[in-house]
Amino acid sequence: MASYDDQRVPRGTSRRWEVILADEDRRREAPRLRALDVRAHHRILQAMSEDDLARMPLLPEGQRLLRYKEHLDLHDPARANFIAEGTEVVKPGQRLVAKADVSRDIWERLIDAAHDVVGWRRRKTA
């Protein structure tokens, strides 16, 4: 029997192959976790208000980080706001916040909270 690529295109109205996707390929996007959902697991989030945490989406597992964009890893507050190289992918169980997904005010409070957890001095504000 000829391989799939060697078979002739069947005659029909469209004269093209039909592509049928299996159900497992049609992944339904799960609702995105928010920082409020994981507040009990991270010291960084303890001092922040519920409203701020509800407006702070976490990156879903398996998503590739955008190159040269700032992120914060809730599991590693010493890393604070790191800039992605573009090759990183969110691992299962990893909790990352992208700076682009939150307001500037919330981001600054999140960075200050990370510095407090690690014991670093706060940034001077103008």
Structural domain that includes position 91: 33-118
Within-domain flag for 126: no
Within-domain flag for 109: yes
CA atoms within a 13 Å half-sphere pointing along the CA-CB vector of 113: 22
Within-domain flag for 6: no
Within-domain flag for 73: yes
Element at 72 (helix H, strand E): strand 70-73
Domain count of the fold of the chain: 1
Q: If you search the block for the tokens 């497992």, which residue do you land on?
A: 24
For the chain, 126 residues long, give each residue's pLDDT as a single digit of tens. 667 667 776 666 555 555 555 545 445 566 788 988 888 888 888 888 899 999 999 999 999 999 999 999 988 888 878 999 989 999 998 899 999 999 999 999 999 888 888 887 665 655
